[in-house]
Structure 1
Amino acid sequence: MPPKKMIKLLPNQGKLTEFLRKEKSGSESDINNNKEVNDERDADLEAELNESGDRETEKTRKIRKFQKKWLTMYSWLRLENEDDSDEFMYCNACTDHKKVNGMNKVAKNKNFQHSTLTRHVNLADHKLAILAPCLKENMDQCQKKHTTKYDDAIKSLLTCVNWMVSENLPLSKFKSLIDLLNELSLENIAILKSFCNINYESEFSASELLDSLSKVADTHLNESLSASPMVTVMSDESTDISNTKRLVIYAQLISDDMKPSTHYVNNMECTDATGKGIAVSLLDEFKQRGVPASKIMSMGSDGASAMTGKQNGAAAIMQRQNPHMVNVHCVAHRLALCTSQAASKNSHLQAHQQILTDLFYYFKGSSKRQSKLKEIQNILDDPCLTIKEINSVRWLSYFSALSTVQRTVDSLLTYLAEADGNKDAKAAGLRKKIASESFISITYMMMDAMAPVTILSQFFQTENVDLALVKVKIDLCLSDLEKIKSMGSPHLQAVKEEMDVQTGFFQGHSIKKTNLNLNNLTADFIDALKENIIASILALRPISFLSNEELINFGEEEINTLCKFHGERRTVEWSDEKGNHKNSSEAVISAEKTKEEWNFLKRVVLAEHYPRDCFWKLWNLIVTYHKEQFPNLIVLAQLALTSAVHTAGCERGFSMQNQILTKL
């Protein structure tokens, strides 16, 4: 309350009591006395007013605090930086709906008065923000009401076509599927019968629906290619069932949250299977999709000369457009080469592989032989397995063929002995080769040796291989291979128990004794295989954040190598029939700043205890919380995550192609 107003008397005024006094009113002395009294009263009044004003100022300057009960009174109210000098309140609804007013989070309102909240409640912006969810729900309901049953029927047809394609069913079966759905009285399909002038039951209708789905998928692919900061191309060429050269293309992309993904791009006819023809096809395909050559930072292939040739390979020609592009030889292909090259150095292993091939072709040409073998397998309680072929382009085919023979060797020896008695010359020759100490011993030894290699190959073929686990998996494989040299592995122990060398019998069958030194053969093969893996596979070691006591020197060699390649301007020179050419590309990162970021990042990762068992999850955390501190390292991480570690997707693409393009 303000102080009560007091009436101030003028100099020539007096109080009523004094007017009624009997003294002489006109006396000059009285007037002077009245004036002195009035002046004294004015001074007292002024002092009282000043004192009252000071009390009011102190009251208004009192610091107001946020009342916790307001949070329960107003569900939209939020308090930021609680118990801090910089705390402020804001309206969550207005902030979410981007309303510009004093209670938006950006405004940082510190006027902690209840009247501020009551005034905000009556604002039109606030009322609209509160009603927005209800309005959206009402709009969605209106849209649903306007969606006709005919539209739902078309969606059902699109779902049917998508299911048929996913299950590799021919579109000629579309009409049969629709008839079945009509018999089941599916409402969305039955409604189409009311449109007499439209027929959605033919194969041509299914083809048009499939084209619509394809266009939508193609649009989404182009959007993903545009959104990814860099692109990795994975390509392979092969021949379809009609003997037509085909080029399958996949792309590896990375999202804003650092998660890599592999996308199918195209399967096109390749009229020119040379390196130049493949490079032109790849560049044109991505150019049509809005991806310039400067955005293609890596290319993965199977290592064929047409792909990786230094002068005229597809990768070398594409590097002329972007000198910073990296060419990667598929690690699964490398692993298969490691095994075949290690085996090629030993004549016993080459002969063993040839016997497996001869065995396959012996049974392949006769259904009678296959049926007889299955009868024997059933009688002897062996697995009913068909002899497999060793295919040079299929990474796991050797282990599959080897496993089949090892698991059914008793049935094979029994069948060949019976066929030999029936004067089957081929069976007699195969029996002589298989019923030997060397063949059986090598079969069991190779089962132990190929098991860890097969597990490693399967890991490399997984989609979006986690780079943080590559080194761990390779070390585990090398460790398992080293254990085999001690001759204590499961299959080698089994063959020692089942084979009686003195009497010359194995599982009841007479076998020929040989002078094979299995210990030396095993050691030589394992050493050669390990040497090839270390030389060919470990070169792919990526950026890793494994704990290390010497934190200062950890990763310095790798980061210097990356800075030398990506942190400098690169130039490519080449010559052709038109003359000499040269092209350059600017540095992708700053080498000096990258090294500084690396030294800082090692400490951040260890201090924050970030998980290091999943490469992309680690970098997802770094991008989320430290994006501004490590811009150069994030670029390197994107390059690593999109790197074409393998091209298994291309092989799967050709397998799908052969399922679609059959001899029929």
Structure 2
Amino acid sequence: MQVCRENSLAKSELAITTAMKNVYFAAEENLPNCMVPKLNKFLLYQGVSQLADLKCDGHTNYEHSTSIEEFQSCIAGVLEDQLIDKINSSVKFSLMFDESTDVSVHQNMVMYIRVLESDEFGYTSPGTYFFGIDSLSRANSESIYTKVMDMLKVKGISLSNLCGVSTDGAAVMIGHKSGVVTRLKREVPGVLATHCIAHRLALSCCTGADAIPYMVKVQEVINSVYKYFHYSPKNMAMLEAVQSLTPGQSKRFKEVFHTRWLSFEGSVSAMVTNFSNLISVFLEENSGKALSLHKSLTCFKFLYVVHFLFDVLKPLAILSKMYQKQDLDFTEVTPLLRSTIDCVSDLQVKKNGQKLTEFLDQVPSEPQVDADGLVTFQFQCHTIRDSSKQRDEAVKVCDQFVTGLVKSLNVRFSDNEDGSVLTALSNFFNPLVSKTCKGTDIDVVNEYLATVGVEGCKDELSCFLNFAHASHDNGNKSVKSTRDMANLALRNKDVYPAASEAAGRLLVAPVSTVECERGFSKQNLIKTCLRNSLAMSALNNLMRISIDGPGLSDFDFGCAFKKWKTLKTRRILM
């Protein structure tokens, strides 16, 4: 009898874990809960007989939405327990949070956490994880601060271990009197706050373009071209018909959005690639709107500017992608920025970008009068208007754009008080910076550590520098980068506690809220117009599974089953 009961329970457990795997798969693929019963039925048809044991009587089959949500809660609970263990092991952590509006016009706050993790070799690196999402009654500093504190309290996380915060730089986040960051700094001295580098880069590009009237016009023309085809199947069909005759010139037009970090580069690239086909369509259509756009596009000034922008926006797009990398270190921010500024400035001075050079090679070096007495030239089989004034203004516009862009980048990325501390920490742990050049950095790090309770450590910091540089100079291949040197301090915490404290705070410091933006993208994939009544707890569980869940074969469904069966008495296990 006992053996029969054990076999029955084993079958029931197998049925439940198999159903959980289907729920997990649906969550990973952002599928609605109503798809799970259909998925079970399909697998039964395919011969997965374990699912037949889900039905224990005429009323209970564990495919109701309530049962599916319980499965999701238990799966997410396992992932949350693992995250709490990582936070407790790390001790130090940093937060990234932002607010947004979902499809049901409710304001939500998403929060990510950055912790320190060690691999099997004892090497420590930062890891970023989804912490949670919750609704906001109002998107003011009081509501956001209260929500942050509540989310930490519910999970039993002590605020005293907070080392850094990253936000989008809005006034509600960084206001000097009552901003969220200001409130957190009052609670925890030594918190290092950063304004998201991806947001700062986007704002710099927008500022550089919007300050120049002709650049504003270029963006308006590009958006008009996008709308001309996007909202007209007839126009789109005509464009595709022309593109089919010219392989390699079929890039999709894009709209310029300041809130989409890479949209300007993609829009300009499409304009340059599709130019010849675009003009052909406008001439064929011969409508008022088409001829108006044709006039704006077929002049030297416009062509020169968009070809120049093609070259200049390329390194900026690369920088934006680098700044959106997961677990980016502060040590990488300035070198990436400086190299991009140098590249853009070089393009401004030499005017030797690939696309601009190709364009200038196909046009006359000076304006020329044609047989009809007009100043024009042929470019890609189309007539382009030209003049000395246009050429001078085109060069001037491009120079103004780059000058304004570089100025804005330097201003927005200049160090504030917290930035100066992070720069000093980066220099201190950089083995390529000469030890003799780190005197000021030692002073800054020493003063900062005093604010977190580590006082009188200047001599210790100097001793650690001597040790680290001696290791590097003597050919120690384990000390080649800033992160290596920080790990050297962490491994020798008992000897150099102050240096270890500084290393941990540098590694865990966040530099962007890119993960929050990805979180909102995931939110919008899950909570769609067809699922606009999704409860916040369900949304939180689904986002956790989809964002941080491992592959289906790597998840511990046994642990999730144990959680599920202890929630209440289960009829299938009786």
TM-score (norm 2): 0.81
Distance 1:611 1:337 in 2: 39
User: Which shows bigger deviation, 504-513 or 199-208?
Assistant: 199-208
1:232 to 94, 105, 117: 94
Q: How has the CA–CA distance of structure 1 residues 405 and 657 changed in structure 2, closer, same or farther, with 3 Å as cutoff?
A: same
Rounded Cα–Cα distance in structure 1 between residues aligned with 2:353 and 2:264? 20
Indicate the RMSD between aligned Cα atoms, in angstroms: 2.6
For residue 448 of structure 1, report the CA deviation from its aligned partner. Answer: 0.5
Deviation at 1:361, TM superposition (A): 2.8
Secondary structure in structure 2 of the residue aligned to 1:567: helix
Report the Cα distance in structure 1 between the residues aligned to 2:195 and 2:385, rounded to whole angstroms.
44
Is 1:567 equivalent to 2:454 in the alignment?
no
Distance 2:237 2:67 in 1: 45
1:529 aligns with 2:400: no
User: Against the structure 1 CA distance between its residues 631 and 146, is the aligned structure 2 distance closer, same or farther, given a 3 Å change threshold?
Assistant: farther
Q: Distance in 1 between matches of 2:486 and 2:58?
A: 58
Q: Equivalent residue for 1:494?
A: 358
**Counterpart Cα distance in 1 of 2:30 and 2:94:** 28
1:187/1:640 Cα in 2 relative to 1: closer, same or farther (>3 Å)?
Answer: same
Q: 1:284 to 1:296 in 2, by over 3 A?
A: same
Contact 1:225 1:231 in 2 (8 A): yes
Q: Is the 8 A contact 1:370 1:386 kept in 2?
A: no
Q: Which amino acid aligns with 2:117?
A: S
Higher relative contact order (CA 8 A, sep 6+): 2
CA distance 1:338–1:146, change in 2 (3 Å): same
Match of 1:289 in 2: 155
Q: What CA distance in whole angstroms lies between the structure 2 residues aligned with 1:276 and 1:599?
A: 47
Is the aligned partner of 1:447 residue 2:330? no
For the 8 Å contact 1:276–1:317, the answer to whether it is kept is: no
Equivalent of 2:165 in 288, 296, 299: 299
Q: Deviations over 1:369-412 (max 9, x none)?
A: 22322222223335444321212212111111111212111121
Q: More helix per residue: 1 or 2?
A: 2
Instruction: Give 2:124's aligned residue.
Output: 258
2:292 pairs with 1:429: yes
Encode CA deviations 1:565-592: one digit per residue, 9 max, x unaligned.
2324xxxxxxxxxxxxxxxx64578445
Amino acid at match of 2:471: V
Q: Percent of counterpart pairs with the same letter?
A: 23
Aligned residue for 1:33?
none
Q: Is 499-508 or 452-461 further displaced after alignment?
A: 499-508
> 1:234-255: CA deviations, max 9, x gaps?
0111111121111111111112
Query: Aligned partners of 1:546 and 1:634: how far apart in 2?
Result: 14
Q: Per-residue displacement from partner, 1:620-645 (whole Å, max 9, x unpaired)?
A: 35433x33222111211111111111
The structure 2 residue matched to 1:510, chosen from 377, 380, 383, is: 383
2:111 counterpart residue number = 249
Distance 1:555 1:371, change over 3 A: farther
Q: Could you tell me whether the CA contact under 8 Å between 2:472 and 2:480 is conserved in 1?
A: no
Equivalent-residue separation in structure 2 for 1:522 and 1:612 (angstroms): 44
Alpha-carbon distance between aligned partners in 1 of 2:139 and 2:455, rounded to the nearest angstrom: 32
CA–CA distance in structure 2, aligned partners of residues 165 and 614 of structure 1? 39
- The answer for the alignment partner of 1:609 in structure 2 is 476
Equivalent residue letter for 1:255 = E
Judged with a 3 Å threshold, the aligned counterparts in structure 2 of structure 1 residues 274 and 242 are, in CA distance, closer, same or farther, namely: same
Q: Distance in 2 between matches of 1:588 and 1:493?
A: 58
3-state SS, counterpart of residue 132 of structure 2: strand
Q: Distance between the aligned counterparts of 2:475 and 2:14, measured in 1?
A: 51
Counterpart-to-counterpart distance in 1, 2:55 and 2:455: 61
Aligned to 2:486: 619
Aligned in 2, Cα 1:629/1:608: closer, same or farther, shift over 3 Å? farther
Q: 1:457 aligns with which of 306, 316, 320?
A: 320
Equivalent position to 2:284, from 387, 398, 418: 418
Change (3 A) 1:391 1:567: same
1:480 corresponds in structure 2 to 343
Rg (Cα) greater in structure: 1
Q: CA deviation at 1:442?
A: 0.8
Instruction: Provide the residue aligned with 1:581 in structure 2.
Output: none
Of 182, 189, 193, 1:316 maps to 182
Looking at structure 2, the residues matched to 146 and 258 of structure 1 have their Cα atoms a distance apart, in angstroms, of: 46
Q: In the alignment, does 2:502 pair up with 1:636?
A: yes
Determine if the alignment matches structure 1 residue 185 to structure 2 residue 185: no
Local SS of the residue matching 2:144: helix
Instruction: Return the letter of the residue paired with 1:173.
Output: M
Summarize the Cα distance change of 1:491–1:589 in structure 2 as closer, same or farther, 3 Å threshold: farther
> 1:62-114, CA deviations, whole angstroms, 9 ceiling, x for partnerless residues?
xxxxxxxxxxxxxxxxxxxxxxxxxxxxxxxxxxxxxxxxxxxxxxxxxxxxx
Shift of 1:339: 1.6
Separation (CA, whole Å) in 2 of partners of 1:248 and 1:192? 36
Deviations 1:521-571 (A, max 9, x none): 4344333333333443364545145555x8342332223222222324xxx
The structure-2 alpha-carbon separation of the partners of 1:390 and 1:589, relative to structure 1 and needing over 3 Å to count, comes to: farther
Aligned to 1:171, which of 23, 28, 33? 33
Shift of 1:194: 7.0
Letter in 1 for 2:402: I
CA positional deviation for 1:618 = 4.3
Superimposed CA distance per residue, residues 138-192 of structure 1 (whole angstroms, 9 cap, x where no aligned partner): xxxxxx9998233223222212211111111111111111111111112433444
| Partner-residue secondary structure (3-state), 2:50 | helix
Mapping 1:3-18, distance limit 5 Å: none
The AA in structure 2 aligned to 1:428 is L
TM-superposed CA distance for 1:292, in Å, is: 2.6
Q: Distance in 1 between matches of 2:317 and 2:68?
A: 42
Cα deviation code 1:263-295 (max 9, x no counterpart): 111111111211222111112211222223322
Whether the 8 Å contact between 2:55 and 2:62 is mirrored in structure 1 is: no
Question: 303-312 or 520-529, which moves further after superposition?
Answer: 520-529
* Structure-2 separation of matches of 1:321 and 1:623: 26
Tell me if structure 2 keeps the 8 A contact 1:610–1:618.
no
Superposed displacement of residue 646, structure 1: 1.0
Change (3 A) 1:200 1:507: same
SS at match of 1:148: helix
Whether the 8 Å CA contact 1:152–1:188 is kept in 2: the answer is yes
Secondary structure (helix, strand or coil) at the match of 2:436 reads coil
TM-score (norm 1): 0.70
Contact 2:435 2:465 in 1 (8 A): no
Q: Which amino acid in the other structure matches residue 243 of structure 1?
A: V
Separation in structure 1 between the aligned mates of residue 481 and residue 33 of structure 2, nearest angstrom: 42
Q: For the Cα contact (< 8 Å) 2:460–2:499, is it kept in 1?
A: no
Measured against aligned partners, the alpha-carbon deviations of 1:288-329 in whole angstroms (never above 9, x if no partner) come to 222233222211011111111111211112211113212100
Partners of 1:382 and 1:408 within 8 A in 2: no
Contact residue 343 and residue 349 of structure 1 kept, 8 A: yes
1:198-243 C-alpha deviation (Å, 9 max, x unpaired):
4133444322211211222222222222222222110111111121
Tell me, yes or no, if the aligned pair for 2:166 and 2:193 is still in contact at 8 Å. Answer: yes
Query: Given residue 221 of structure 1, which amino acid in structure 2 is its aligned partner?
Result: L
Q: Which amino acid in 2 is paired with 1:317?
A: R
- Provide the rounded CA distance (Å) in 2 between the counterparts of 1:456 and 1:499: 31
Structure 1 segment 581-596 matched on structure 2, within 5 A? 586-587=453-454, 590-596=457-463
Deviation of 1:648 (Å):
0.6
Letter in 2 for 1:418: E
Contact 1:469 1:613 in 2 (8 A): no
CA distance in 2, matches of 1:605, 1:628: 21
Task: Check conservation: 2:442, 2:458, Cα contact below 8 A.
Answer: no
Residues 613 and 456 of structure 1: CA distance in aligned 2, closer, same or farther (over 3 Å): farther
Q: State the 1:330 CA deviation.
A: 0.5
**d(CA) in 2 for partners of 1:472, 1:411:** 40
Q: How many pairs align?
A: 500
User: Does the CA contact (< 8 Å) of 1:245 and 1:270 recur in 2?
Assistant: yes
Q: Are 2:189 and 1:326 aligned?
A: no
CA separation of 1:476 and 1:329: change in aligned 2, threshold 3 A: same
